[in-house]
Amino acid sequence: MEPEYCIKRSLELAQRAKGHTAPNPMVGAVLVHNDRIIGEGWHHYYGADHAEVNCLKNVPDPDKHLIPESTMYVNLEPCAHYGITPPCATRLVQEKIKKVVIANKDPFEKVSGLGIQILQDAGIEVTTGICASEGEWVNRRFFTFHSLHRPYIILKWAQTTDGFIAPPDRSRLQITGPESQNLVHKWRTEEAAIMVGTTTAIYDNPRLTARHYHGRQLLRIVLDRKLHLPQTNHIFDDAAATWVINEQREILSGNIHSIQIPFDDSLLVSLMHRLRDANILSLIVEGGATLLNSFISLGLWDEARIFTGSITLKEGIPAPVITNHNIAFKTPSGEDTLQVTINKNNAYPYIEGMEL
């Protein structure tokens, strides 16, 4: 059984928990004895058993005696520290696993090679770097967070066929169809936070919740420099936790956290620092045009997901224009078209055929 096949299988397993493991990574594990898979597992949600432990638990009783003569394939280096759960590297040593094959070294400072060292010190053979690029793509949020010390940033907007995101008066306009709307709500269950600017909050009064897809709600973030947004807006309801970024005060009241940050040239960078400190691994920026262009001008983005609907406006608010990018793919979304674009400076580029 080829190592690439087993690592790709571990990646498939890992992604079953998309949206549930943060701030931990997505990890899957496969245990193989003489070209036969005797166990599989993945990390189901934050705080639960890790992939390696679940894989060992899932080995049928008649096969448990084969564990010491088996090879474990895992997409990320086994952890080496005590957190909510004990270190997986130590557990593999206790089980006397013969060999461990790993896609990626863990960038987290409390692991970062220590898991591999524990295995090797115990005489376990370790191979790394198998399907490394695929592994980095799957856990790009986790890798970005620990290498760049900020969330993985996804820009998202919908535009008309002639390149506008709103009418001239900024009135609310549904550009995309139900298939695209459902997909957006699915994405919301997979990321940690979502953000809009003041103008979007005023004119669109968005809820910024996942209502058309079952899953967890993400952190909502809105810019409100002078705290002028009406408290009746949907973003102030109890549907999800909300950060209100402003210059006036810092106060926590129920689900609403007013966060005081100067609205200067460092605003977005300062906000990314606050998100890092809160262990927020990923952020969707939904607009409007001014906020999206601010991220673009700073090069502060990793991925853009752009829907083009079938509507033509002829005039309105122009959609953002991205440069220094690579188009990952285009695909139909109902009657719309979805284009996914990757920042050329992204350290973890898209791998053809991989899931978002």
Of 2, 12, 52, 303, which one is the catalytic site residue? Answer: 52
Cα 47–Cα 89–Cα 25 angle in degrees, nearest 5 = 40
Is 52 a catalytic site residue?
Answer: yes
Copy the structure tokens of residue 77: 């280096």
What b/e sequence results for 309-345 when a residue is b if at least 16 CB atoms lie within 10 Å of its CB, and e otherwise?
Answer: bebebeebbebbebeebeebeeeebbebbbbbbbbee
Strand 282-287 vs strand 193-196: parallel, antiparallel, or unpaired? parallel
CA distance 239 to 168: 31
CA distance 12 to 161: 36
Side chain identity, residue 143: F
Q: Please check whether residue 52 is in contact with residue 90, taking contact to mean a CB–CB distance below 8 angstroms.
A: no
Give me the active site residues, please: 52
